[in-house]
A and B are shown apart, each in its own frame.
Chain A
Amino acid sequence: MISDNAKKQIDSWIAKYPQGKQSSAVMEALKVVQAENNNQLNHDLIQAVADYLDMPGIAAAEVATFYENYNHKPVGKHIIRFCHNISCMLTGADDLISHLETKLGVKTGEVTKDGLISVKKVECLGACVGAPMFQIGDQYYENLTTDKVDEIVDGLK
């Protein structure tokens, strides 16, 4: 269920924690298996992570449902995580989110028909002096304008 490549990555996290505390690696382990499964978790994957880390399945499931970074429904290949809290709101995030929804023909929380992009409204991403901003993958995009949004989104493949 868990690929050798994923195991290698998970093991590098386990090595950071004291002997017997391998469940500390659960958050990263879930991210690793999620990334290999179209950005999505399911019951079997969560159980496989729990087994690998020798922890109860319910404990891994609690983590998988408590934190925001895990997806339990289909998402796009690229997830645009648009910050909509105060500093971004003050600098026009709501208009940009509407623009993006119109452009892609989806509402926040939905996936484009081709499965390429999903849009999610998120709370503060900690880049308030670069507001308005969003995150795609590992990358932050700041000081967004409609032109900039168009350029970035048009470049997604």
Chain B
Amino acid sequence: MNEVCFKNIDKDQCWSLANYEATGGYSVWRKILKGEYTPEQIIAELKTSGLRGRGGAGFPTGLKWSFMPRNAPGQKYIVCNSDEGEPGTCKDRDILRFNPHAVIEGMAIGSFVMNATVGYNYIRGEFIEPFNRFEGALKEAYEAGLLGKDINDSGIDFDLYSHLGAGAYICGEETALLESIEGKKGQPRFKPPFPANVGLFGKPTTINNTESFASVPDIMLNGGQWFADLGVENSGGTKLFSVSGHVTSPANFEVSMGMPFKELLELAGGMRNGAKLKAVIPGGSSTPVLTAEVAMAMTMDYDGIDKAGSMLGAGSVIIMDDSTCMVEALTRLAHFYYDESCGQCTPCREGTGWLYRVLKRIMDGKGKADDIDLLLGVQEKIMGNTICALGDAAAMPVESFLRNFREEFEYYIEHGKSMVKG
């Protein structure tokens, strides 16, 4: 446990430059500055490591980095997505608070690979403590001569800045995030063109999640194979899992990919008050909910969770015990997407409102017999019909809650009250 992003977490002032450097921090970056690595070597190492995008999409990081036209003329950018805000997800906050230098070094390594001399870390507007920690680390890194122009006479430039959001979940979508840095509403762009060709300020841009960047320095330090071996096939390395809800000790745990869900639950102290597990959302509120039985047989890696019928997402494990009313839980999630839809695409803008209002009417005791079919119909019309994945994210919980816990919805509609809470 705690071998990569969290390896220094037990130290006093674990976020300091001194602590980071004591365990090999910035040694990869210093080697790059001395000309001891080529971009191709780094990409090869990342591909070997099996690192996949930790923001939720799971796209192989090495492959993403290889897409950047590093030799194209003109400015290129590297951007870190620290706009964490999907219900259940709170790992990047802790990486920024407790290991900000790993994010900086990861971004610096990426900037060299992709020849991007300027970087931005987009931090959600509410994360003032993590922002201050990151700014403090940036200051340390500049003062130590690790960032700036012609760093240590290497001919390498890298300037890194943080940008604060202002409260919009949609800005975690990478093209909405770019719009937001440009000072606009966070509405996702049509793709193609992809950011690797037309990104920030119209220039080639690579965007990775905070945890992805923070994993890169140790992958280079210890080798891609070391990282791959920490995990399982197709899911290299470790992963931060945010375990929240009805557990005894909710926390972020950095563990090896492939850990049985059962063990992760034990790490979190097991079920709160010894209650019975009822349901698990394994990857954040947008990923399909699973029944206890399915979850208990699952392993925590991309393929393991896929096989169980859900997705690893950002590793945000929401635990629900048998006191949970699934109608209430879904209504709350539907409210989130209704609130956060950017309004650009009709199926999502209107559909999320329909989903929330129909669920709310069921909770108000005014549900109609065909409301379940109505909900299923609406989510089906959103799914796949929007510019970005927020539409799918709103639809998937609805389908999975209704499939796995349909009787609770039927009961609520028929009796006008919760089957669980009365």
Query: In the bound complex, do residue B340 and residue A123 qualify as a contact, i.e. CB atoms below 8 Å apart?
Result: yes
CA distance A23 to B201 in the complex (A): 11
Say whether, besides A24-B182, A123-B339, A131-B244, A86 and B88 are in contact (CB < 8 Å).
yes
Shortest CB-to-CB span from B286 to chain A, Å, is: 11
Query: In the bound complex, do residue B87 and residue A87 qualify as a contact, i.e. CB atoms below 8 Å apart?
Result: yes
Query: In the bound complex, do residue B183 and residue A27 qualify as a contact, i.e. CB atoms below 8 Å apart?
Result: yes
A130: chain B residues at CB < 8 Å are 90, 250
A25: chain B residues at CB < 8 Å are 183
Say what secondary structure dominates the interface of chain B. Answer: mixed
Determine whether B285 belongs to the interface, using a CB cutoff of 8 Å to chain A.
Answer: yes
CA distance A70 to B168 in the complex (A): 11
Tell which of A30, A62, A86, A138 has the most Cβ of chain B within 10 Å: A86
Query: In the bound complex, do residue A123 and residue B201 qualify as a contact, i.e. CB atoms below 8 Å apart?
Result: no
A70: chain B residues at CB < 8 Å are 166
Query: In the bound complex, do residue B180 and residue A91 qualify as a contact, i.e. CB atoms below 8 Å apart?
Result: no
Residue from the list A23, A31, A122 in contact with B166, Cβ < 8 A: A31
A90: chain B residues at CB < 8 Å are 244-246, 318-320, 324, 329
Chain B residues 63 to 104 lying within 8 A of chain A, measured CB to CB, are 75, 84-90, 92-93
Query: In the bound complex, do residue A124 and residue B245 qualify as a contact, i.e. CB atoms below 8 Å apart?
Result: no
Residue from the list B166, B182, B252, B328 in contact with A69, Cβ < 8 A: B166
Chain A residues 38 to 94 lying within 8 A of chain B, measured CB to CB, are 53, 55, 59, 62-63, 66-70, 81, 84-87, 89-91
Say whether, besides A90-B318, A126-B85, A55 and B183 are in contact (CB < 8 Å).
yes
Chain A residues 14 to 47 lying within 8 A of chain B, measured CB to CB, are 16, 18, 21, 23-28, 30-31
Q: Contact string, A123-137, partner B, CB cutoff 8 A, digits 1/0?
A: 111111111000100
Residue from the list A124, A135, A139 in contact with B87, Cβ < 8 A: A124
Residue from the list B246, B285, B328 in contact with A85, Cβ < 8 A: B285
CA distance A75 to B345 in the complex (A): 32
Which of B6-14, B120-128, B219-227, B255-263 forms part of the interface with chain A? B120-128
Residue from the list B88, B161, B163 in contact with A128, Cβ < 8 A: B88
Query: In the bound complex, do residue B90 and residue A129 qualify as a contact, i.e. CB atoms below 8 Å apart?
Result: yes
Say whether, besides A25-B183, A91-B245, A85 and B166 are in contact (CB < 8 Å).
no
Q: Contact string, A106-130, partner B, CB cutoff 8 A, digits 1/0?
A: 0000000000000000111111111
Say whether, besides A127-B90, A127-B93, A63 and B244 are in contact (CB < 8 Å).
no
Determine whether B377 belongs to the interface, using a CB cutoff of 8 Å to chain A.
Answer: no
Shortest CB-to-CB span from A59 to chain B, Å, is: 7
Shortest CB-to-CB span from B330 to chain A, Å, is: 10
Q: Contact string, B153-197, partner A, CB cutoff 8 A, digits 1/0?
A: 000000001011111110000000000111111100000000000
B319: chain A residues at CB < 8 Å are 90
CA distance A131 to B242 in the complex (A): 12
Query: In the bound complex, do residue B169 and residue A123 qualify as a contact, i.e. CB atoms below 8 Å apart?
Result: yes
B118: chain A residues at CB < 8 Å are 18
Shortest CB-to-CB span from B422 to chain A, Å, is: 16
B111: chain A residues at CB < 8 Å are none
**Nearest neighbor of B333 in chain A, beta-carbon distance:** A86
Say whether, besides A85-B285, A87-B245, A138-B128, A128 and B183 are in contact (CB < 8 Å).
no
CA distance A73 to B393 in the complex (A): 31
**Nearest neighbor of B245 in chain A, beta-carbon distance:** A90
Residue from the list B126, B181, B251 in contact with A126, Cβ < 8 A: B126
A27: chain B residues at CB < 8 Å are 125, 164-166, 180, 183
Shortest CB-to-CB span from A96 to chain B, Å, is: 15
Tell which of A16, A21, A23, A126 has the most Cβ of chain B within 10 Å: A126
CA distance A57 to B242 in the complex (A): 41
Which residues of A are in contact with B by a Cβ distance under 8 Å? 16, 18, 21, 23-28, 30-31, 53, 55, 59, 62-63, 66-70, 81, 84-87, 89-91, 122-131, 135, 138-140
Which residues of B are in contact with A by a Cβ distance under 8 Å? 75, 84-90, 92-93, 118, 120, 124-129, 161, 163-169, 180-186, 201, 242-246, 250-252, 281, 285, 316, 318-320, 324, 328-329, 332-333, 335-336, 339-340, 342
Query: Can you give 29 contacting A-B residue pairs, CB < 8 Å?
Result: A16-B120, A18-B75, A21-B182, A23-B182, A24-B181, A25-B183, A27-B166, A27-B180, A31-B125, A31-B166, A62-B184, A63-B183, A66-B168, A67-B186, A68-B166, A85-B87, A86-B285, A86-B336, A123-B85, A123-B339, A124-B89, A126-B124, A126-B127, A127-B90, A127-B93, A131-B244, A135-B126, A138-B128, A140-B126
